Amino acid sequence: MIDLFEKCYRPSLAKEAREKHIYPYFHALESRQDAEVIMEGKRRIMLGSNNYLGLTTNPEIIEAGIRAFEQYGTGCSGSRFLNGTLMMHLELEEELAKFLHKEAVMTFSTGFQSNLGIISAMVGRTDYMVCDKENHASIYDGCRLSYGKMLRYDHADMEDLERQLQRVPESAGCLVITDGVFSMGGDIAKLPEIVRLAKQYGARVMVDDAHGLGVLGEGGRGTANYFGLEDEVDIYMGTFSKSLASLGGYMAAKAEVIDYAKHVSRPFIFSASMPPSSCAVALAALRYLEKHPEIVTQLSEISSYARRRLKEEHVRIIESETPIIPLYTYEVENTLQKAIEIYDRGVYVNPVLPPATPPSQCLLRTSYMATLTKPLVDEAVGIIGEVLGEPQ
């Protein structure tokens, strides 16, 4: 037999990028996740975080985590199914369900695990899943774990979605799964059309709202609320690691659906529960968001300002209505070179490479926080414009 590790020694993009000194990953933070950070000894303006509401440095929320750490210790040492349920877990689930206008919520230890746990619980061997091709990787891994049949439709192509729905046998159950806000492109799912087609063909609808919670809808309630479709979307999935400044994830649905998932979801049953401090931070961030819905407006306004300033600097962007603004860089090596150049000048952005994009459509993903100021955006965009601005 061949050596299992043989693949580890082959040439790769990562090795080539290191040799050319354009490797863009694993830059180490030396400060809090904020609008300005210290990264590898130098000040950088952070345009690569999912900390959309800027709550990771909020003193009130930090204090909630400290209190929980002191009261409950470092962890729960077991799964929610057995010894790992705190009253605080139940409190978070109850308050989040009310916020999302759903009957019930169950929480998971990570967002990635949430998709694994939801999809594998709800979709059986004889069922089907229909996925947008640009859905998050955790959705695809959840589909694999379910053993159901997965069909994919071209990104945001409703005609192709209908073609895939027509392939599902009448004897099978079907779950249509879409990101609410697509994490790389920043575009919003065509949820009204998705819901209409799902109803027409008898399918259920699941929305991964990892990048929608705190960003869209009334008070940041997400994509379904944004479209007025809260009662039409069967399952919400989301994370606490973005707008709610913590770690973990959730499923929101009807109470009977949640109860079923709690008793069959292997990633839920066989994983340790959210640590007390993470749970307390998510709960405190949720309460802060409810008390300060204006922070969602602030996020929208600073994102719109950044979008306008990038255009003024003649930087080619992908249009969106969210805090995610991707910048065109096209080829892989050019993308890596531009990312390092921008980083060296004091701005952190995220390169997006294949397989997340086609080979000649690479991007630099910028994302914005409600706590960014216009002077900081001006400084960052000025640097990006010097590197990426197109001659006029």
Residues annotated as catalytic (active site), given as ranges: 183, 211, 242
Phi-psi region of 181 (alpha: psi -120 to 50; beta: other; left: phi over 0): beta
Cα(96)–Cα(237) distance, integer angstroms: 12
**362-367, strands of its sheet edge to edge:** 324-330, 362-367, 350-352
Cα(249)–Cα(340) distance, integer angstroms: 32
Cα(29)–Cα(48) distance, integer angstroms: 12
Tokens representing residue 124 in the block: 């059986």
